[in-house]
Amino acid sequence: MNVMQAEAPVAVGETGLEIALPAGRSYFNHYWLRDNCPSSFDRSTRERSFDILHLAAPPRPETAEIEGEALVIRWAGEDHTSRYPLAMLAQYAAPTKRSDPADMPRRAWYGDHYPDIPRFSQPELKADKAKVADWLEALIVEGLAIVTDMPDSDAGLTELVELMGQVRPTFFGLYFDVKTHINPTNTAYTAGALELHTDTPAEETAPGVQFLHCRANTVEGGMSLYADGVAVANDFRARDPEGFRLLSETEVPFFCEHDSYDMRSRQTIIELDEHGEVSGLTLSQHMLDILDLDQHLLDDWYPAFCRFGKMLQEERYLMRFTMKAGECMVFDNHRIVHGRAAYSATSGERYLRGTYSDRAEMRSTYRALVSEGRFK
């Protein structure tokens, strides 16, 4: 860049310009300025309509000056003038990520959380967008909510998902059924326990939000088990920093294979977000593949994995309860581990119908409900 005139309100250099803003002199690249002229965005489509790849030559200001509360640039070689509100430039003067209303700190919960789980009724959610925002906020912050008063129909679940986003298929399809009918002729069938897990980690990106709609539950046993992966992993981080490092940095293989599919992925057991905070877990005894890692690394990884897995089963983290017909558990499938105690299949009927949506859908709907966005 050329040496600029230090004191001029706007000083044009070779690659960009310097401008005096209330917070101090700031530099803006010419490409950025040309690309982000306010006229580059179509208010009707709400998309960028300008394509910088069509510029014949690198953008260069013919003139650049401050007029009132705006920077005005006439561009060389094209018939185009840009007006940038100084407030807009102030917003981008430093590389600060755009603020995101859906980026809220998580609140960890423990085994005694059941009475405090946020609850919303399905008809109330359908009628009131403010309640939908509260519901999504609860899911982002705590990772789990119960929706009550669900209609006893397949459509009821779809309607609930669509308040948040789209139904998200997995390789099992759009919906799944966990069903056991009473069968007196089948004498001793006992539905076994399901260990704590997250669903379908063999997918490259496992679904982010899980819905489990209880349509019937009259069996003996079969209590639902839930634990907050964030609570456990945060405590593990404090108790066992080296174990935490191994489980949050080492990608391990997951698989799910049958005649017509062969899903494979690599995931870390503990998932961190962009801030380095724990955002979830990936855990599945059924889908963990044979570890194809250095055997010496496994000398450390396996003991750490077992220490963590045992910690996850400590009473202080485990929430146990019996789902009632008409309730739908909605939870972050990357954060909340879930399982089920064994039950007696001959003692009644148990029918859960499930499906998924994604974290991105949930956050998108939340932002649209609570913020102005770029164009409103």
Of the listed pieces 24-32, 194-202, 243-251, 320-328, which binds Fe ion according to CB under 5 A? 194-202
User: Where on the phi/psi map is residue 285: left (φ > 0), alpha (ψ -120 to 50), or beta?
Assistant: alpha
Element (H, E) at 87: helix 86-92
Element (H, E) at 284: none
How many CB atoms sit inside 10 A of residue 95's CB?
A: 5
Nearer to Fe ion, 137 or 199 (CB): 199
Nearer to Fe ion, 18 or 199 (CB): 199
Residue with nearest beta carbon to Fe ion:
199
Beta bridge partners of 232: none
Residues 169, 200 contacting (CB under 8 angstroms): no
Number of residues that bind Fe ion (CB under 5 A): 1
Of the listed pieces 28-36, 195-203, 216-224, 232-240, which binds Fe ion according to CB under 5 A? 195-203
**Span 227-246, contacts to Fe ion by CB under 5 A:** none
Taking the complex as a whole, the smallest distance from the CB of residue 201 to Fe ion amounts, in Å, to: 11
Residue that has been written with the tokens 């310009």 in this structure:
17
Nearer to Fe ion, 15 or 285 (CB): 285
Nearer to Fe ion, 248 or 355 (CB): 355
Burial 132-143 (b: 16+ CB within 10 A, else e): bbbbbbbbbebb
When asked if residue 199 is in the footprint of Fe ion (CB under 5 A), the reply is yes
CA dist 346 to 179, 182, 188, 189, Å?
Answer: 12, 5, 8, 7
Binding mask 131-170 for Fe ion (x = CB under 5 A): ----------------------------------------
How many CB atoms sit inside 10 A of residue 197's CB?
A: 19
Binding mask 329-368 for Fe ion (x = CB under 5 A): ----------------------------------------
Of the listed pieces 53-61, 199-207, 231-239, 296-304, which binds Fe ion according to CB under 5 A? 199-207
In angstroms, rounded to a whole number, what is the distance separating the alpha carbons of residues 201 and 263? 9
Site for Fe ion, rule CB under 5 A: 199
